[in-house]
Structure 1
Amino acid sequence: MNTPFSSKTSRIALAMLAAVGFVALGFFSYPALQVVPATPVAPPPQRVTTEGGLTIVTLDETTQTISGIQSEAITASKHPVEHLAYGSVLDVQGLNDLSTRYYLAQADSAAAQSAASATGQEYERNLALFKANQSVSLKVLQASQAAWMTDKTKLQAAAANIQSVRNSALQQFGAPLAGMIGAQDAPLLHRLLSREEMLLRIVLPLGVDLAAPEQIAVESSEHRQEQAHLISASPQVDTSTEGRAYLYRAAATLPVGSKVAAYLALPAPASTSLLIPEAAILWFGGQPWAYVQIAKDRFTRRPVADQTPYNDGYLVSTGFDSGDRVVVHGAQLLLSEEQRPPITASACKDPECDD
């Protein structure tokens, strides 16, 4: 006999079997799900490429405008021929010491002069009295004479000391600077001793038939350029170089001992060369470079070899052609782009690609 409970249980069981059947039917009826392949991603465009041994930086015109990259054309023209010489910044402590010694020697000379004058007058008075009436003893006369002779000897020694200081100054720094020691008005000496100006020794190499120019351009290893003015021939030379040495003065910008290069105009016909603006010069690896725009969106870096400073720029005769456009603003940005590691991208965007 069926009870209500068993009937209800049977209906639930039939419903569950039906549900299982539908699921099974759907499983066997639909095709298996297909795995969608990952969508490949195009690699980012390379801004730095190598073509024919040249490194090329490619930047579109919009990027150039945003970055402030500008270039200008260079043209060939005639410029005076210059010769390269070398020198260094001298220590003026010796000049200061000589100046101090001179003033001390002058003080000693003045004191000796005063003493000799006094003892000389005393001796003359005693001599007159001795000759007149013998009121002064011979012993007193001889003592006053000895004192006078001693003071005269001190005066001579003081004068010799002054001359010794002058001779030392002549041997070390030449006549013009030596003549300024002890002078009442010597503004150049004051500027040198106060480091308002620096003293340079420039050596013209042997075999160069050229008088020392009154004005030259000098450049240090820090690529700082100054105008220097001739003082005189140098009585001393640098033992590491051979040639005629000259003393120059320039605004004090370099420490003592700094090496400098000097550019001297030669009495020769002007040569044709290209002027690279200083704004285009980029120092990298201890060497000057300049970026040349070889197309609207392409730049390459070239070494600035055999350069000669000239009017806020560098004269070159090789490596560049008339009409080349050199980058005068933004060269450092191009170098940063060139030195940046290459950009890489994954082949797909699916997270499973990272597994």
Structure 2
Amino acid sequence: MKHTRFILAGLIATAIVIGTVIWIRSTPSHPPASSADSQAATTSAGTVVISPAQMALSGIAVQALPVTRFQPQTSAYASVLDPGPLLQLRGQLRSAQLQTDAARAQAAASEREYQRLTVLNGQDHTVSDKVTETARATRDADRAHLEAAQASLLAARDTARSRWGDVLTGWALATRSPQLDALNSGQQALLSVALPQGGATGSPLPTIHISLPGSVGEITAHLLSPSPLADPVTQSPTYFYQAPRGGLRTGMRLDALLPTGQSVDGVVIPNSAVIWYANRPWVYVQSTDTQFVRREIAVDTPAPGGWFVAQWRGGERVVVKGAALLFSQEFQPKPQPGAPSSGGDDDD
């Protein structure tokens, strides 16, 4: 029995030592000041108190958010298209066009030859009827070849328009196309943007902004033309846009930000500042040097690198790094008054 008590006492002592080490590592390595400076605690629901020293040790960072004028935006889906099929189509259309041109030239030559021989045959039979008939047969065959080439070219154009629309098909048909050359060289990227059905944007915007994953920057894209195809996921109408290649890669599925409504004043809350609790978004706002208040925000307006929140006072300091640490501290179990001591039994 005594041996068992020794074991229990040893376990309790070990737990106390481990807890002490953890506490020492989380507090400054200088003599403690007051209890308010040396210990973090929740003073009320949604409020956390933590000393500046512990903030520094924990890597908690705050940032004063300035008021900015923001253009409300709505999101749309954008896809980076592979320009390979369009470049191949360019070769096919050019080949069909050249075959048509050659057939037209051959048909014109055989027509002239047939007319010349017909005149000679009708004047003094310098040319025999057989030669004239052979020339007519050649002319008729060249006419048929021309019609076949024209039909092939027309079918290729119609197929191209059904996939790429008039503007991009015109690029492919042109003898020289700087736009396709820019796609082929990787200077520009081709995007398909699906606008929301019945959205506030109405007609396609001439300029939109593309948000890159993991980046706070944006890429500006310019409207080219409507696309004949609907988005396979949303079934929304799509439009072709062109943007600098930059970090865009073929196959990327991105967010396109479309301006809607009038500009409003507010602040941009960084993504790193937002925590989720009970399916609602929150941030910690520093109210004093040591006090942080958890505040709910709205995340219905995306902005570059975060969320735009209207009707927010400028200059308020928001935790942009370490919000999860404050959240865990807020909900850390607190010692209850009158709790029994953890000391061991007397050794009787």
TM-score (norm 2): 0.67
SS at match of 1:232: strand
Give, in whole Å, the separation in 2 of the partners of 1:106 and 1:88.
31
Alpha-carbon distance, 1:53 to partner: 7.5
Determine if contact 2:72/2:301 at 8 Å carries over to the other structure. no
Deviations 1:137-181 (A, max 9, x none): 222211111111111221222223223232222221222212112
Give the AA of the match of 1:213: L
Alignment map for 1:225-264 (pairs within 5 Å)? 225-252=218-245, 253-264=247-258
Once the two structures are superposed, residues 59-94 of structure 1 have per-residue CA deviations (whole angstroms, 9 ceiling, x without a partner) of 645984x99976331245552222222232223222
CA offset digits 1:9-58 (Å, max 9, x no partner)? xxxxxxxxxxxxxxxxxxxxxxxxxxxxx9x9754344696746879695
1:249 is aligned with what amino acid? Answer: Q
Deviation for aligned residue 1:101 = 0.6
- Which of 200, 204, 214 is the matching residue for 2:195? 204
User: Residue 215 of structure 1 aligns with which residue?
Assistant: 207
TM-superposed CA distance for 1:201, in Å, is 1.7
Counterpart residue number, 1:81: 72
Q: Who is 1:26 aligned against?
A: none
Contact 1:77/1:272 (8 A) holds in 2: yes
Find the aligned partners of 1:335 and 1:260 in 2 and give their Cα distance. Answer: 28
Cα offset for 1:225?
3.1
**Which residue pairs with 1:145 in the alignment?**
136
| Pair 314,59 (structure 1): closer, same or farther in 2 beyond 3 Å | same
* Contact 1:291/1:301 (8 A) holds in 2: yes
Q: Which runs of structure 2 are paired with 1:72-221 in the superposition (5 Å)?
A: 72-209=63-200, 210-221=202-213
Shift in Å at residue 98 of structure 1? 1.4
Structure 2 counterparts to residues 313-328 of structure 1, below 5 A: 314-317=307-310, 322-326=314-318
Cα contact 1:112–1:158 (8 A) shared by 2? yes
TM-score (norm 1): 0.66
Q: 1:130 to 1:172 in 2, by over 3 A?
A: same
SS in 2 for 1:205: coil
CA gap of 1:133–1:217, structure 2 versus 1, over 3 A, is same
Within 1, Cα distance between the matches of 2:48 and 2:317?
Answer: 15
Q: Is the 8 A contact 1:49 1:55 kept in 2?
A: no
Q: Give the distance between the partners of 1:192 and 1:302, measured in 2 at CA.
A: 47
- AA at the equivalent of 1:240: V
Contact 1:54 1:300 in 2 (8 A): yes
Counterpart-to-counterpart distance in 1, 2:115 and 2:275:
79
Structure-2 change in CA distance of 1:256 and 1:134 (3 Å): same
Q: Please name the residue that 1:265 is paired with.
A: 259
Helix, strand or coil at the partner of 1:181: helix
Asked whether the 8 Å contact 1:169–1:178 carries over to 2, the reply is: yes
Matched residues in 2 for 1:123 and 1:57: separation? 102
Task: Name structure 2 gaps, 5 residues minimum.
Answer: 1-12, 28-38, 329-348
